[in-house]
């Protein structure tokens, strides 16, 4: 049996301001109509012997994960929650232990959730070659055939042939520009795609050999795991005791069983705005455009407009990204340094560093529209059948106006329905519930007023989603 392990816990800060800690790039539709996570899951269709995936991600993203798996129709998938990120070696170890409970010594296909591929058939062919090598007890990675001298990726040096692949002679860190050009001319160096195929038992045995403390921690985390709604929660104390280290550093660079298969599929890890520009279709002036954009005499730009018109005149080689609360303007060649900018925002405790204006909740999402002294306006979107927690606020009152759909509202002892263009008032301190009883989405404009409008002034009295 081939069990996919999808790693969905990344933060993607190099794609700020679109990708942020609370809604990183794997949940964004950067290259198509669906998110990178859903594209990764769809890419599994057609692989021979494939089973339902194990998706491992952060607890903070659990409802985003559940919603995207529901949209993908993957009701049999396992949602494995990390209490905190410990890098890829522990995440894969925990998933391998869970997979071993589901099947007898399965082969694992380990994929990051945030990569782009153009040619799915080529990917499937490489997976088949990798599975054949994994059945020979090899730990197989994918070597991406380079298309240009790239300084943003690590490399694999191809060794002797084995089956339909090659031994890995060595792993190489990200090179400088001159070295990357030499690698491309040499032909024996491949980009390290960060994807793997191996037997669960083989990986765990190598982990015990080189990083036994990781295996001990992950065994404790899986043994103490508990089911919570749609999620399997790893035991926190045990998992957090694991060293934080990547699979390459923990195992792959040390093992004598490392092999690779080549992959030519139009792959990109979309690790920066520059790599996204390279991966997407260009207009006649080499611009990549998304959203409401008007250009004049502008070339080789990536422009992403999320909530308003962006117009440019006479600019070249720029990344311009507009969201509801932030605008990034950068030279495309400086895109790898955005991580430093995000760190600066975090050091200043700027909410824009981590929080997105569109915030997902298990019942749907809300979007901040306006705020000022003693007031805030939000758009609430509730999915059919969903409801918010029964709650009250000590410091604010709320007005609700139904824009679309039908709302069932409970305020104190009263319960009533509101249709489009109808409204109600929630006094400060009053217990209330908002519910969507209909078959279509419910949209409500919420106007808050009061001395304090923070999210921690939500006193939940009961909650169908298990939140505190």
SS (H, E, C) the chain: CEEEEEECCCCCHHHCCCCECCECHHHCCCCCCCCHHHHHHHCCCCCCCECCCEEEEEHHHHHHHHHHHHHCCCCCCEEEEECCCCCHHHHHHHHHHHHHHHCCCCEEEEEECCCECCCHHHHHHHHHHHHHHHCCCCEEEEEECCCCCCCCCCEEEEEEEECCEEEEEEEECCCCHHHHHHHHHHCCEEEEEEEEEEEHHHHHHHHHHHCHHHHHHHHHHHHCCEEECCEEECCHHHHHCCCCCCHHHHHHCCCCCEEEEEECCCCECCCCHHHHHHHCCCCCCCCEEECCEEEECCECCEEEECCCCEEEECCECEEEEECCCCEEEEEHHHHHHHHHHHHHHHHCCCHHHCCCCEEEECCEEEEEEEEECCEEEEEEEECCCCECCEEECCCEEEEEEEEECCEEEEECCEEEEECCCCEEEECCCCCEEEECCCCCCEEEEEEEEECCCCHHHCEEEECCCCCC
CATH of domain 2-263: 3.90.550.10
What is this structure's pTM? 0.88
Q: What is the pLDDT of residues 308-367, one digit of tens each?
A: 999 999 999 999 999 989 999 999 988 778 989 999 999 999 989 988 888 888 899 999
With CA atoms as reference, report the closest residue to 157 among 178, 137, 175, 132. Answer: 175
Q: How far apart are the C-alpha atoms of 459 and 349, rounded to whole Å?
A: 25
Q: Can you list the residues of the chain whose pLDDT is less than 50?
A: none
Residue 296's region, left for phi above 0, alpha for psi from -120 to 50, else beta, is: beta
Q: How far apart are the C-alpha atoms of 434 and 458, rounded to whole Å?
A: 14
Q: Does domain 358-462 have CATH number 2.60.120.260?
A: no
pLDDT of amino acid 258: 97
Crossing angle (nearest 10°) for helices 200-210 and 212-223: 130
Virtual torsion, Cα 101, 102, 104, 110, nearest 10 deg: -100
Q: How far apart are the C-alpha atoms of 300 and 318, rounded to whole Å?
A: 7
Which distant-in-sequence residues (6+ apart) come within 8 Å of 237 by Cβ? none
Contacts 24+ apart (CB under 8 A), 172-177: 175/151, 176/151, 177/149, 177/151
Whether the Cβ atoms of residue 51 and residue 3 lie closer than 8 Å to each other: yes
- Percent of the chain residues past pLDDT 90, beyond the cut: 83
pLDDT of amino acid 468: 66
pLDDT of amino acid 444: 98
pLDDT of amino acid 228: 87
Q: How far apart are the C-alpha atoms of 304 and 268, rounded to whole Å?
A: 19
Domain map (residue ranges) of the chain: 2-263, 287-346, 358-462
pLDDT of amino acid 13: 82
Q: How far apart are the C-alpha atoms of 8 and 113, rounded to whole Å?
A: 5
């Amino acid at each position: 049996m081939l069990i996919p392990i999808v790693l969905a816990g990344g933060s993607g800060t190099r794609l700020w301001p679109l990708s942020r800690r609370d809604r990183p790039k794997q949940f964004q539709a950067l290259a198509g109509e669906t998110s990178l996570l859903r594209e990764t899951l769809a890419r599994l269709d057609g692989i021979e012997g494939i089973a339902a995936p194990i998706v491992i991600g952060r607890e903070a993203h659990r409802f985003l994960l559940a919603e995207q798996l529901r949209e993908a129709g993957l009701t049999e998938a396992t949602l494995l929650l990390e209490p905190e990120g410990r890098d890829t070696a522990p995440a894969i170890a925990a998933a391998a232990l869970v997979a071993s409970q589901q099947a007898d010594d399965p082969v694992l296909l380990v994929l990051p959730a945030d990569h782009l591929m153009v040619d799915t058939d080529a990917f499937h062919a490489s997976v088949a070659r990798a599975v054949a090598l994994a059945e020979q007890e090899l730990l197989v990675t994918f070597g991406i055939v380079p298309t240009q001298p790239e300084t943003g990726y690590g490399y694999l040096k191809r060794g002797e042939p084995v089956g339909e692949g090659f031994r890995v002679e060595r792993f190489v860190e990200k090179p400088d520009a001159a070295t990357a050009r030499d690698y491309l001319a040499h032909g024996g160096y491949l980009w390290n795609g960060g994807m793997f195929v191996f037997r669960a038992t083989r990986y765990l045995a190598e982990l015990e050999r080189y990083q036994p403390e990781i295996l001990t921690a992950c065994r404790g985390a899986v043994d103490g795991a508990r089911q919570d709604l749609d999620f399997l929660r790893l035991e926190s104390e045990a998992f957090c005791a694991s060293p934080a280290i990547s699979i390459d550093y923990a195992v792959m660079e040390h093992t004598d069983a490392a092999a690779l298969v080549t992959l030519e599929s139009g792959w990109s890890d979309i690790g920066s705005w520059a790599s996204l520009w390279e991966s997407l279709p260009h207009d006649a002036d080499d611009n990549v455009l998304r959203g409401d954009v008007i250009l004049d005499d502008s070339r080789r730009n990536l422009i992403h407009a999320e909530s308003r018109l962006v117009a440019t005149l006479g600019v070249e080689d720029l990344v311009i990204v507009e969201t509801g609360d932030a605008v990034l303007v950068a030279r495309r060649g400086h895109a790898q340094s955005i991580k430093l900018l995000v760190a600066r925002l975090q050091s200043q405790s700027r909410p824009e560093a981590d929080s997105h204006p569109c915030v997902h909740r298990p019942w749907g999402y809300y979007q901040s529209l306006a705020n000022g002294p003693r007031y805030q306006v939000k758009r609430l979107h509730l999915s059919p059948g969903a409801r918010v927690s029964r709650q009250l606020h000590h410091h604010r009152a709320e007005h609700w106006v139904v824009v679309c759909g039908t709302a069932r509202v409970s305020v104190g002892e009263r319960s009533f329905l509101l249709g489009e263009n109808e409204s109600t008032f929630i006094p400060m301190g009053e217990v209330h519930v908002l519910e969507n009883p209909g078959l279509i989405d419910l949209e409500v404009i919420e106007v808050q007023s009061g001395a304090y409008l923070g999210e921690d002034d939500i006193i939940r009295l009961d909650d169908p989603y298990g939140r505190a």
